[in-house]
A and B are shown apart, each in its own frame.
Chain A
Amino acid sequence: MTQNQFREAEGPYFGDYGGRWMPESLVAALDEVERVFREAKADPEFVDEFQRLCRDYTGRPSLLTEVPRFAAEAGSARIFLKREDLNHTGSHKINNVLGQALIAKRLGKTRLIAETGAGQHGVATATAAALMGMECVVYMGAEDTRRQALNVARMRLLGADVVPVEHGAKTLKDAINEALRDWVATVENTHYVLGTVAGPHPFPEMVRWFHQVIGEEARAQILQQEGRLPDAVVACVGGGSNALGIFHAFLDDEDVALYGFEAGGEGLESGRHASAITLGRSGVLHGARSYLMQDEDGQTVDSHSISAGLDYPSVGPEHAYLADAGRVSYEPVTDVECMNAFERLCRTEGIIPAIESAHALAGATRLARSWGAEGEDRIIIVSLSGRGDKDVATAAEWFKLLPGQENDPARTVAGDEDENAGQAPETGVQS
C-alpha cells in the first residue's frame, strides 16, 4: 500500500463508484455546491467557524471511553468507545449538518430540506436551521413518522415542517425520493442537506469531510491515552457516514484493521436485511453508483432492519470502493446479535447506545471473540455513533419490558398460573 493511497480519494468517482446519476435539472446546483465547498474548506475563516461550532455548540471533542466490563464478556481485547452519542442532538449527524448549513449560507440559500429515517438527521437539520434562522422541511416515510412519533414532535418543536411520505415503501429511500422532488422544484432558494455519504457528487466527499473529525480525534486520543494506534476500528454502516468519519484518519495506517457492520436484519437467508455490500450488486440509486439491493429487473428491493437508521438498500460509493479494494471488511450483524450487544452495554457500562451503533458493538464482540486469548491487550475502537434515547420504545418492545408483556415484573408478582412465570426474565447476556 502506498502512502496516502486511500485518504486522498476525492469525488466524483471512487474507483468504479460514485458519479452523478441525476436529472440534468440538478447538475447546476451540484456544481455550485461543489465549487462553494471546495472554496470553503480552503478558507481559514470557514474552517474556524465550523470548528467553533463543533466545539461550542456540539461539544467536541467527543470522549474516548474505555469499557472494560463490556469488553470482559467479549474476550480478552480492550474496547474503547468514540462517544458521538454525547454530541448535541445525540449523534454524529450534527457534524455534517452544521457544515452543510454553513455551506448553504455561503450559497445564499434560506431554506434547508432533509430526509430522515429514524429522525436523528432530521432533528439535527431542524436544529441547525433553528440556530441559523433558516426555514426547514424534513421528509420522513409515513411508516417512520408513526414509529418515531417523538422525533416528529422534536423536529416540530424546533420549528421544522415534517412531511410524511406516503409513496413507495414509506421509509428512508422514499423520503430521499421526495426530498429530491422538492429540490428539483426549489433549488433556487433551497439546499438539500443529504444526511449520509451517498447521493450524487459532491455529497459523498463533502459529508465525509465534515465527519472526518471523528477519526482525527479518536486517533489523537488513543495515541495520547495508550501511546499507540488501535488494532481495529469498527463502525456500523447504513449509508455509512459515521463509519467513513471514523475510518478516514486510519485509512492509511496499514496495521489498523477496519470493519464495517451492515444490518443483517432477520438474517441474510430471510431476505429481510439491509446488507447492501454483502449481498448487493453494482447499480445506481439516488445519484450514485454503488452496491445496491435490487432484483433481476433493477428494481430496488426493500431493506429491513430493526434500526431505522440502517434501513437503506444501498451504501455510500466510497464504501463500495473500500470494500472492493479490500481495505475495509464488511460483515452483516443480525437484529438479534445487535440487541444482545445493546443490552450488554446498558447493563455493564450504564450507556444506552443507539440501535444503529449496537451493530458496531456486536461486531466488536464478534471480532474480539474470534481473537480468543491472542486478543489480549489488543485495542478495538468502536464508533458509538448515537445514543439510544430514541430507541427506548423499540428496545422495550424487543425485551418485553412494558406492562402487560411477558417479562413484566408486575405480572410475575401477581402470580401467573404458568410455573415459569415466576422465574427471572431471561433478558440476560446471550451473545
Chain B
Amino acid sequence: MSKTAAAIDAAKAQGRSAFIGYLPAGYPDKDTSIAAAIALVENGADVLEIGIPYSDPVMDGPVIQQATTAVLQRGFRIDEVFEIVEAVTDATGAAVLVMTYYNIIDRMGADEFARRLAAAGGAGAITPDLIPDEADDWIAATEKYGLDRVFLSAPTSTPQRVARIAELSRGFVYGVSLMGVTGTRDAVSDVAESVVKAAKGAGAERVCVGLGVSTRAHVEEIGAYADGVIVGTALVAALRDGGAAAVGRLAAELSGRP
C-alpha cells in the first residue's frame, strides 16, 4: 500500500485529518533542515513534503522563493535531497514526499530519479507543474518503484480533468484551495471545499488541501472536510526566524497538540 495513504489513514483512525508539513531541502543548511523536519514530525506532522530548490519556481510566493534561492546560492546540489530524505525517514519513519518542479526529475531521468528516491526511503513526489497529460514517463517510473505520485486538482479543473487526476494520483490528490501561488492568507477560500468534493466525487479516496493555510483555525476548518491539511509558507517563515525549535512549536500549535 501507499506509504502516504497509510499515514493519512492512521490519522483518520484517530478521528482527525492528517497534518502535512512542507520545508525546503537544505534550508538554511543541510543539518538544520533535517533537524527541522524531525521536529515537524515529532510535533504532529503525519506526512512531510521536502521541497527541492529550483531556479524557476512559478508556483511559489516570496517566502518560499527567498528560502530556496538562498539554498541554491550556497551551491546546493541534488544529491543532498536524497541524503535529507534518507536521514529524516530513518529518524522518524514518517512518509516523506519530495515536492519538485518537473525539470529536476526530467534532467536526471524519471526512472533514475524514482529509483534514487525509493532507495532513500522516500514515499513519492508532488509535482506542481506536471499535469497527467505529460506524465507518462513519471507514471511508469513511480509504478516501477512503488512510489506515490501526487497531482494537483484546481478550482478551475473540469470534471473530466478531475476524474483523470483522481485516477492517476497515488497517495492523495492535492486540492488547490485557491487560484494563486504559495503564501499565507487571512482566510481559507471557500472554493477549497468544492475542490475536495469534486475530487471525491470523481473517485479520489484521499484529498488533502494546500495553499494559503497557515493557522490552527485554518487546519480545523479544512480538516472538517478534507483528509489532510498542507502547511508550507508559515513553517518556512518559522524556520527562517527561529530555526528548528520554532518549527516544532508552530507544528505543535497547528496540529492542536497541547
Contacts and interface: CB of A to CB of B under 8 A. Distances in A.
A226 interface: no
A72 interface: no
Interface stretch (B52-60, B89-97, B238-246): B52-60
B30 to A, nearest CB: 15
Given A184-B180, A185-B179, A284-B106, A24 B58 contact: no
Contacts of A296: 107
Nearest to B131: A24
B104 A180 contact: no
Interface in B206-254: none
Interface string B148-161: 00011111111001
Contact of B55 (A25, A168, A181): A168
A181 B78 CA distance: 25
Contacts, number: 112
B154 A181 contact: no
Interface in A176-204: 177, 180-181, 184-188
B69 A23 contact: no
Interface residues of B, number: 40
B181 A181 contact: yes
Contacts of B145: none
B133 interface: yes
Of the listed residues A177, A296, A300, the one surrounded by the most CB atoms of chain B closer than 10 A to its CB is: A177
B108 interface: yes
A283 B129 contact: no
B69 A19 contact: no
Nearest to B79: A297
A167 B62 CA distance: 8
Interface in B66-108: 69, 72, 77-78, 102-108
Given A23-B129, A185-B179, A297-B107, A177 B154 contact: no
Interface in B120-146: 128-131, 133-134
A20 B128 contact: no
Nearest to A301: B55
B152 A294 contact: no
Please list the 8 inter-chain residue pairs (A to B) with the smallest Cβ-Cβ separation, ordered nearest first. A298-B107, A28-B156, A185-B180, A25-B154, A297-B78, A300-B55, A299-B55, A298-B104
Interface of B: 54-59, 61-62, 65, 69, 72, 77-78, 102-108, 128-131, 133-134, 151-158, 161, 165, 176, 179-181
